[in-house]
Amino acid sequence: MLAAICTAYGGPDVVQLREVEVPAPKDKEVLIRIHATTVSSGDCRIRGANFPTGFGLMARLIFGLSRPRQPILGTECSGVIEAVGPGVTRFRPGDAVIAFGGAGFRCHAQYRTMREDGALVAKPAGLAFEAAAAIAFGGTTALHFLRGAGRLKRGERLLVNGASGCVGVAAVQLAKHFGAHATAVCSGARSGLVRSLGADAVIDYGSVDFATSGERWDVILDTVGNAPFARAQAALNESGRLLLVASGLPELLKAPFQSMTSGRKVAGGPAPERAEDLALLAKLAESGAVRPVVDSTYPFARIADAHARVETGHKTGSVVVTLDVS
């Protein structure tokens, strides 16, 4: 099979298509023939060794010292089950599915194995493979923060900093599903998009600084990494919650002290990869409550260009890569 191999840490050109062996499904595993995948900010972070401040050595010990330990990146995909291993009862060959490999990667390939009890769900019939591939990475992250440390409640005010990225577009839609008031911070050019997703208000970061606007929110979700507590504190209500989706080690280390001394909650860290979260997102996508947003689509042969697009920092939603399944 063809796989996109990350041969070293570096720019998009280190990603090359190569022939590798098709994996065989083991006990309670399925083999997925991948129709579509995405290149996420997480993929680019690993490929370029662009780790958050303070995590450089730790990340290299986990992901590889001189090059990625797992050379096939890709956290999410959609496709059709090709074969099943012994003991599989939930799926059968021909089933269309959505899979979230997460930190296990291996979705930038024509085939991937997954445990049937992992983050693997049936693809809604009305959802194209390209859209289905764009559900997991941003959606599970937004869901984890809003329902977890965010404790977002009906009627509360949420601000999403970076509302047009893949986490941001999911967060705006989930907020509306939960009955909250959503303010989106993005460029003026993306205001129409985030309003179409349900944003009640939009702040153009090019002309207004939300932190000094005089407004306050119950929850601030920072997906960009430029709204630490020192900046966001004045925009939080009493007992407000600041959720650091993208932050370095120094901010995460300060979070417990800031929470204890300010009366507000500051939380960050990685989001778990839970099958139940993916199942909920698929259900919401099927009902139309959540709409995957696709920035652009590239054929597998141009996956390096997809990496380059993500690296610009100006994508809207997800960058999708399609695989030839003819």
**Token pair for 292:** 């995957």
Q: What per-residue confidence (pLDDT) applies to 57? A: 84
Number of H helices, E strands in the chain: 10, 15
**Region(s) of the chain under CATH 3.90.180.10:** 2-135+292-322
Backbone angles phi, psi at 286, to 5 degrees: -65, -35
Kindly report, residue by residue over 224-274, the tens digit of the pLDDT: 999 999 999 999 999 999 999 998 888 989 999 999 999 999 999 889 889
Helix (H, G, I), strand (E, B) or coil at 313: coil
Phi, psi angles (nearest 5°) of residue 185:
-105, 120
What CATH architecture applies to the domain 137-268?
3-Layer(aba) Sandwich (3.40)
229-244: b (≥16 Cβ within 10 Å) or e: bebbbebbeeebbbbb
Per-residue model confidence (pLDDT) at position 46: 94
| Each residue's pLDDT tens digit, 59-88 | 888 888 889 999 999 999 999 999 999 999
The model carries a pTM of 0.94
- What pLDDT does 54 receive? 83
Where in the chain are all domains bearing CATH 3.40.50.720? 137-268
Regions in the chain scoring below 50 on pLDDT: none
Q: Tell me, what's the pLDDT at 64?
A: 85
Give the pLDDT score at 326: 60
CATH superfamily to which 2-135+292-322 belongs: Medium-chain alcohol dehydrogenases, catalytic domain (3.90.180.10)
